[in-house]
Structure 1
Amino acid sequence: MNLHPGEKMMLYRTRKNMSQEKLAMAVNEKYKLHTYQMQISRIERGEIPELILMMAIEKVLGAVIWSDQFAENEKKLV
């Protein structure tokens, strides 16, 4: 199964029984970013977030969502 990063994020979020709003609140509390439920929704539908938000979401969810793509693309450049 080949999921885009937003779908992966949704999968990890639902496995943790987190709503989009709770994920946004956790990112805000832990990393002092201004993230909203609507932004989480757009990311899950395919919008690409800023790098700092990608990293914060991965940390909050305890998952690799975008980082594996960076490593894969880096191999192609070498």
Structure 2
Amino acid sequence: MEAWRILATILLGVPGILGVLLVIAKARERSGSPATAAVAGLVCATALAVGCVLTLTVLPAAVTWGVAAAIAVGVAVALLVG
């Protein structure tokens, strides 16, 4: 496995985990239900895991770095706004 794939996965995973936590907090705030927050967190964590596996295995370099950058920027903006 190439080193750039591992680095891109790390750069996708770390902000992705923060994004999952943000989604859980927002779902809990809006609905007040722990079950809704758990489902939202599970969906986001699953999507993040699939994205990380695809980054490690099959996605081309341009797509991989684009996805990692988009997730990092999106989470940074969400943290700054919220």
Q: What TM-score results when the alignment is normalised by the length of structure 1?
A: 0.31
The structure, 1 or 2, with the larger RCO (C-alpha pairs under 8 Å, 6+ apart) is 2
Which structure dedicates a bigger proportion of its chain to helix?
2
The normalised TM-score by structure 2 is 0.30
